[in-house]
Amino acid sequence: MSLTVGDIIHFERTFTNEDVELFTRVSGDEGNHHTTPDEMGRLVIQGLLTATLPTKVGGDNNVLARTMNFEFLRPVFTGDTILCAVTIERYEKLVNDRMSILTSFDCTNQNEKLVLRGNFEGVIL
């Protein structure tokens, strides 16, 4: 994929109970809000599970991350569909012919509420 400054890459995912259960086992993040459903039968998604959306876009483009910054703005629940929009802010050739990339991202839920924002920077392998 050829990237250009200003490109916006979208990725969408609906989180399930199975996603939370698997991430709980892998991460050890076993807070009650991740293991006990609320009054509507939903689990709260771990913040770092939500953060897999922008990292998936990085992975799709072979980004070896150097820095990642996340600002978690509101909870995400099982059944929520999150749309992640990653914007290419900088994309330039390095001395060793690798590419340096800086992005920003916003993740919104199905109600168009911002749930996560941040940026990541790295090198494309």
Compute CA distances 122 → 27, 63, 64, 109, whole Å.
24, 6, 5, 26
- Averaged pLDDT, 19-37: 91
In a domain, 92, yes or no: yes
Domain residue limits at 91: 8-14+45-124
> Does 50 reside within a domain?
yes
> What confidence tier does 107 reach under pLDDT thresholds 50, 70, 90?
very high
How many angstroms separate the CA atoms of 42 and 80, rounded?
A: 10
**Does residue 36 belong to any structural domain of this protein?**
no
Looking at residue 1, its pLDDT comes to 57
In this structure, is residue 95 part of a structural domain? Answer: yes
Q: Is residue 72 part of a domain?
A: yes
Residue 85, domain member (yes or no): yes
- Reported as a single tens digit per residue, the pLDDT across 71-95 is 999 999 999 999 999 999 999 999 8
Q: Is the model's pLDDT at 49 over the cut of 90? A: yes
d(CA 21, CA 39): 18
Distance CA 102, CA 114 (A): 21
DSSP three-state, residue 94 = coil
